[in-house]
Chains A and B, each alone.
Chain A
């Protein structure tokens, strides 16, 4: 594997009904270079299959975290090692 490819890989994590709809908890992804923000990433994920389209059908209800910190959809993803997607939280 070439080093540049390895650097572009990011671990995607899915929780709650996002995880259930996609059918997996995590995966390694190599988004195309034009995917710059969390919102771009969601739009790209939606094209990966029916299960992704279903999980991200209402993207406004999707929250995201980069390397375990909450981020907005317009946040850049460059340098991210781990990007998580999940519904609004119900802690407490």
Chain B
């Protein structure tokens, strides 16, 4: 039986290593944990920070639906998703996806599936604040991100 997913939406930084240790815990059947960390780029020095807006309540619910789908499709022993909101500076993490399984293929595939869905279906919106202090505007959704969903 897959254990339930751990899902959090928070302003604070997260500790990926600590989350991975919690995910495997005392279990001895986990053979692989894939860790994906999405970071804020500075876009060649142009970006001062991102402001991540989200839809409280729906963000957790939608990530939960995608997590349930991953648990149904791959033999996962657990998964953890942490998504930040609020101001995020270049170099800081934005999102953490951890997938645990007995063998690596399921963990790799599920992590990629989860990230593809979070990109296009999780209700978060990134606004760029430029280094000079000018407002940079909203980051546009990429068509290839929605196209990426068709492979699943």
Chain A interface (Cβ < 8 Å from any Cβ of B): 13, 15-17, 19, 65, 68-70, 84, 86-92
Contacts and interface: CB of A to CB of B under 8 A. Distances in A.
B137 to A, nearest CB: 8
A65 B123 contact: yes
B88 interface: no
Nearest to B118: A92
7 contacts: A16-B125, A19-B53, A65-B55, A65-B123, A89-B120, A89-B123, A91-B119
B57 interface: yes
Tell me what chain B mostly uses at the interface: helix, strand, loop, or mixed: mixed
Interface of B: 38, 53, 55, 57-58, 61-62, 83, 94-95, 115, 118-127, 138-141, 146
A92 B9 CA distance: 12
B118 A68 contact: no
Contacts of A87: 125, 138, 141
Contacts of A84: 55, 58, 123
A13 B55 contact: yes
A89 B58 contact: no
